Amino acid sequence: MSLVTSSPVWRPFTQHALQPGAYKIVHAEGAWLTAEDGTRFFDAISSWWVITHGHRRPEIMEAIRRQTETLDQIIFAGFTHEPAEALARRLVEITPPGLDHVFYSDSGSTSVEVAIKMALGYWRNRGEPRTRVVAMEHSYHGDTVGTMSAGARSVFNAPYEPLLFDVARVPFPAPGAEQETLDALESVCRAGAAAFIVEPLILGAGGMLTYGAHVLAEMKRVCETHGVLFIADEVMTGFGRTGTLFACEQAGIVPDIACYSKGLTGGAVPLAVTLCRHEIFDAHYAPERARAFFHSSSFTANPIGCAAALANLDIWAHADARARIAALASMQAERAARFAGDRRFSAVRHLGTIVALDLNAPVSGYAATLSLDLMRFFNARGLLLRPLGATIYVLPPYCVTAGELDAVYEAIGAAADQFASRAV
């Protein structure tokens, strides 16, 4: 396998002194990537959790091609276009009822940044001095300044600490300690918080940590009791990852503000939305221009991105899309079970289409070089797996076959043979 080692590109989340090269991918289809030298990689993490139905899904590619023939980009202040209007209507129909307004942006980070600004603008425009944001321990919400502030303090954001605003935190609801989380949330909400932001059911970059739908429902109840806005960061969990179209469905709750991105276009092109209840919109609706919601980007509601998202929603409208989710969830559960009693692993967990397990190795944490060793190990076997420290997770596109999954889990077992022996 050949790596591109001479390049002006500064890659994300990469220490170039430890990872001096990158594989140059020239083709993708279904769940597979092909490098310039012909090497193939099975995309077991959906290219950072964005690919849903598979790479280059024909319906989405065709929608993109058609849209390029009529409209590529237009300012979205004072102008609009049918792909954005149609997509907004569709999203209001399929998301939890009551999310009546759609604000477009470009990425998961910006969709969450928008949500935080919406919440603070809501309270300011109501004339109530609420500015405290509440977040969960170990959470990750993005890499803009506002979203880093809401996320856990870690190696991700330590250099930028002087820029970050203070956030109240509640502990992660670990099994048996859920009440501690609810009590902490009750306390901070009673003190007059502005908003609580949470990744529903599973924390992604924080280590694929899972918690129950009943806890999510109780957290929403606590927020409602004290009038605290509830923000659901479904950037990763949306569009089938947890087994339902949206994770909040499993708790039977409707957030006040919800963020969606990664799977919105099937992973084909960047697009994000932040949906909110009408009360949030109404607080910004006034004759005074100063009460407007001041947020935008040059590519807000890009027509090509909206066309891709509409094609993606057409796929979801068919029953076989939901059936594929159920089938993948079942396949994942079966394969994860092989490691349930394996002393080389701990905390084997499964939620919908996602499986995660912690390799019992002496060094953990995202910054540990173990994750790089594991990544190279999997790459050498034609797999794209990107462990979070010692946490190995499998989050494949929904087009994966049983045989392809078997190869992934065989490689995970082989990795444990090589790396877990240090600890057990």
Residue after which a domain boundary falls, among 316, 341, 375: 316
Mean pLDDT value across residues 9-34: 95
Q: State the residue range of the domain holding 349.
A: 320-422
Residue 52 lies in a domain: no
Q: Is the dihedral of CA 209, 214, 219, 224 positive or negative?
A: positive
Whether residue 401 has pLDDT greater than 80: yes
Q: Last residue of a domain, which of 316, 333, 356?
A: 316
Domain shared by 299 and 358, yes or no: no
Q: Enter the tokens of residue 288.
A: 């005074």
pLDDT of residue 38: 96
Clarify whether residues 275 and 168 are in a common domain. yes
Number of structural domains found in the chain: 2
Enter the pTM of the model: 0.96
**What per-residue confidence (pLDDT) applies to 347?**
95
Residue corresponding to tokens 């501690």:
180
Between the alpha carbon of residue 365 and those of residues 208, 282, 362, 386, 396, the distances in Å are 13, 43, 10, 13, 23
When the pLDDT of each residue in the chain is averaged and rounded to a whole number, the result is 96
Report how far residue 220's alpha carbon sits from residue 215's, in angstroms, rounded to the nearest whole number: 9
**Whether 266 and 394 share a structural domain:** no
**199 shares its domain with 344:** no
In this structure, what token pair is assigned to residue 225?
Answer: 């009791």
Q: Is 131 exposed, middle or buried (0-12, 13-18, 19+ CB in 10 A)?
A: middle
Domain assignment present for residue 16? The answer is: no
Residues 384 and 308 in one domain: no
* pLDDT tens digit sequence for 351-385: 999 999 999 987 656 566 899 999 999 999 999 99
Q: Do 388 and 347 share a structural domain?
A: yes
Residue 35 placed within a domain: no
Say which CATH number the domain at 353 has.
Answer: 3.90.1150.10
Same domain assignment for residues 224 and 302: yes
Asked whether 257 and 280 are in contact (CB, 8 A), the reply is yes
Quote the pLDDT of residue 363: 67
Domain boundary among 281, 316, 351: 316
